[in-house]
Structures are given as structure tokens and as C-alpha cells.
Chains A and B, each alone.
Chain A
């Protein structure tokens, strides 16, 4: 397997007179989890659909698992997993029946390294739908439906998995369970993942690397930590003395707290140092770009 799962060079997409993507470049390395962030209308879904082979680009070069998505045949398709923003297909099918049926399409694309498809019962357990295995798909709750979508996305053990806003509409528990599922996939299956999300905490938790898309261009590319550091070394220090709360922004958090300890000693309580997180970075970058 090549080290690069996907390669995008000078990708452009134009609808009428509007350039939705204005020459973007990025790579996805094999085994990496990449999160694509950006405001609504920034071109995230367009980008992911071009990579999935669902949409023809206007210009540029795109290679996904060694193939141009516009000319990807069925064997190429079998190596991808696609979870779109919303699915409501196959409402009359039963969960087990649908997963078993869709899994069967991948059987002839199994290789010596990758056995396809996933065992239906095992997969149902993995996504936590054992209790619903016999239910009609149309009767699942929103969170269950989404977990089924993920199960269908991975039933062929994809080498590259696309997740377009996978946890939109999840409650906190369902979100946490989904994150654990993605971790399990990337740890044990070595799957490469490209995901879009509006939840920055989610990107921070799941992604090895973050791409921020705004105005049709990539305005930032790096690990969540790198981005936070690049943008600002500033931290916020909070503490309490005699029940009174203090807040102080500083570029030198370490030496500042050392001074605090020296000055107040035992009286210093509830000390907190808060670094810029991905959300702060994101807001700052997008704001900067928009000006």
C-alpha cells in the first residue's frame, strides 16, 4: 500500500460564476485521520464528494488510492467507505438483512491482506445495534440510524473512509460512543479517515491533522496542537486568593505562575492555565481570513 491515500493538487470547482474551491492542495497519508473544517458553504462537502467520485471537478488533479475518482471503477469503489450527511434509504429493510446484503457486494473484492466483507453480527455489535438487528431501518432513532450508516460505510473494510458530519444531531453519549468507534477503527483496522465536522472538540479528539477551508482555500493545515501553538502562545491563568477570583492573560504562563507561587505560596488556590484550544484557533483564523 502506498504511503499517500489521497493527493489533491490545485483543485478547483466552479458553479456558474462562483468559485467554490479556488485551487486547494493537500495530502492524506495512509492511516491518518484528517478533519476538514470550515464555515457553511466553504466547500467541505464539495471537496469530499469530488474525492468520493460523486462529483466532477472543474480543474486540478486528484488521486484517491492511486486512481482519479472520475475514472474509478468498481474495484476502486470497493476500497472506499462513504458516510454521507444524511441517509434515509432502505427504510423497509431490516438492519441485519441490509448489512448482510450490502456486505455481499464486497466479497469478490477481498484480498490476501483484507478480508471483505465484515461479519454481519460482529459489525452490528461493533456499532451497538445488536438490540435493533431485527428492526426495520425506518423505525430506528436518529442516533441508531447514523450508527447504521457508519456500519454500512465500513461493511467492506474500506482502506479510506469518508465521514461527512458523522455526529450531527447526536446526543453527548452517542457522540462519545461514535468517537470510540472511530478510534477502534483507526487503531485496529488501520483505516484512513477523512471527516468533516462543525464540532471542533470532535476534530481535536479524532483528527491527527486538521484542514481549515474558508473562501474556497485551505487557510490552515496541521495537527490541532500545532495550529493552536502557531496562532497564539497566549494562555489564560485563573486563580483564587481568599475566595476572590482572578484572571490574567499572558504569553509566559510558566514564569507567570512561578511568580504567583512565590508571591502567595499556600494562599494560592484553584490555579488553572488554559491554552488556546482548537475552537479559539479556528475562530481566530476564520475571522482573520474574513477581514
Chain B
């Protein structure tokens, strides 16, 4: 079968899982921002596991009472109830018994999950059908969604978006400054309860798609990715929703395509695939996001270091030029001590920047080179003058700081310093401070 992307939105079988998981992951992206910024991402993890006894218990109950028609509703109620109990226990442990937060989260997670599995084992031999159904909630089963799920997830998405839009200001206050929120008369306890209910509701509805074990990833991954791209809360919600939806769709897409390309020999589970894709997106964002990505950060640092080296070399050449030396490579090696290969590399870069030109074995500064070199020396000496005259530091201790600051000072700062020091002609070492070359 030929699979185009568009196919995933029109085909009656594929439509529901694709759109459904997109909507669900979008919602969990939005909700994830709330827990991520409060640094309680792992609460989602515990509560998702805590839904399992509710799920298995109510499936079993429905099996005993022959309530197959309202099964999905019952499962929702059961999951919600047991997540609430889980939260209550965590809260009690933390506040009444002063158990540390991580231990109480883990204890509740492990105990509830164990209880859920015990309940599931009741059905194992007696009701194989129910048991299979319980197992699908472990890893989720996005592939068997129907159109009704699109409606449910759509309504959920709408509610969450409306909630965030209406209470945006209050949420921002609550997330970043709870005492302020309380002081300005925001009903922060009520709001906190509502946020908590929204989180649990999303978890409960989402476990069918992603499973109790992996549901928390759907909350964390999009928020992590979104945080890399923005510093604004509003944009973070948008990015997170986008990343969530993208992860949901690509997860389903890759699961279907991979399963099909192996002609049914292997089936790739959709829930873990969604998590895997979302996790990869988050990893990509952590490494390569503009500004905050690790690799980008390192590249920026490396660029800055290279610029410093170039400026230092230019400064040295300018000084030698002032002294009237003819500048060639042996002289520079003697003065600076770079290895010859590295030195040639930087010299070539400076030539490319049109600050140097070469005549035979000698290098000469261009007009631009003279201007730039003078500026660096000027900044260096201005800073030394500032440290000594204005801050009263000892003369022999200012050189090191000036070596660093000469690369950082901006033209505005230079102007301010000039004004402050009344346009000095000499630095503390009695060296002339070069004039600004226009």
C-alpha cells in the first residue's frame, strides 16, 4: 500500500490513531509545561503508574458485572480515582511524615503498580480477554483508536486550551511566584487544585494511548523541547503543543510505516514509538536549539575564543608596527610563541578580514587593521585606567582583567569610560592611549 502523509488524515483506519494521538500529545504538551515549570515532572510519572490499579480493578469489576458497554467510562473513573488516592498518599507522606519527596513518589509508584499487577493477575487465568485488555494499558494501544476517541481528545484539548487561555495571567503568577499570586488575591489553592485535576485528567485519558509506564514522557518531552526555544511562557505553550503534536504524529507514522515495511512479520508498538520520537526531538532540541542548545553553545564559545585569539594577534602586530619592526613569521613566533602552522592559519584569517596584507615574507596592517588594533589597545588601556583611577586597584594587578575585558567592551561602554575618565591620554603604566580612529 502506498502511504502518503495525507493518507493518515483521510484513511478511515489510520485517521483515528493519527489525529487522536496528535491531539492527545498536544494536550499533554500543554499540561507538561505546567508540571515542568513547577519542577514536578516526576509527579506525573508516579500518578501515571498509580492509575494502573484503578484501570485493572474497574476492568475486572466490569467483567464481573457484565458492563462491557460502559467499560471505557468505567476505566476512566477508576483511573481517576486511583490517581487521586495516589496523590493523597504522596501528599500525606510528604507533609505528615516528612518523607522526602523522591522517596514518597517512588514508594507510591511501586506500591500502586504492584497492586495493579496483582489485580491483573486475578484475571490472568479466568478472564483472558480482560487480562489482554489490562495489558494494553501497560504500553498503550494507539492503533485501535476509533473516531469517538478523536472527539474525546478534541474536547479535552479544547478544555485545556480554554483553561490556559482564560487563566493565563493567574497561571503565570502561580508558576513563577506563588507568594505573589497569593498576595494579589488570586485563589491560588483553587487554581492549584484545578491544575492538578487537569494534569490527572490528561494522564487518565492518555494512558490508553501511551500506557501507564510511558505516559509521563508525553508530559516531559515536549516541554523540555519547548523550553529550549523560548524564554516566554506564552510561546512555550505554543511550542510545546506543536512539539507534542509533531511527536504524536511522527510516532504513529513511523510505527505504521515500519510495521508495514516488514509485511506484518514485526509489529512496532505505537505508544513506545511516540515516546521514542518525542524523546529524540527533545534530544535534538537540547543539543541544537539556537541559543540554548549544547552544541550551539559550544560553537559560540569556540567562535568567541577564536575571535579573542585573532584580536590578540592583531594587537601584537599593531604594537610591533608602532615600534617600527618589519613583521614576518619568525618575529611573531618569537614574540607570541604560537606554533608556526597555527600562526599562519590565523594570519590567513586576518588577511581574509582585510586587516592585514602580505608583501613577500612581510605582513603589513591595512587601514582597517590599524583602526582595529588601535581600538583593542585603547580598550585595554582604558580599562586599566578605569580600574586604577576609579576603583583604586593596584597597578600591577589590572593587566589580567584588561586582557579579558578588551574583547568584551562595547563601543557604548568605551564612550562612557572615556567620559568618566575625562578622555585620558596615558594609562597607569604611562603608555599612551591611542585616539579613536574614525
Partners in one complex: no
Interface residues of B (CB under 8 A from A): none
Interface residues of A (CB under 8 A from B): none
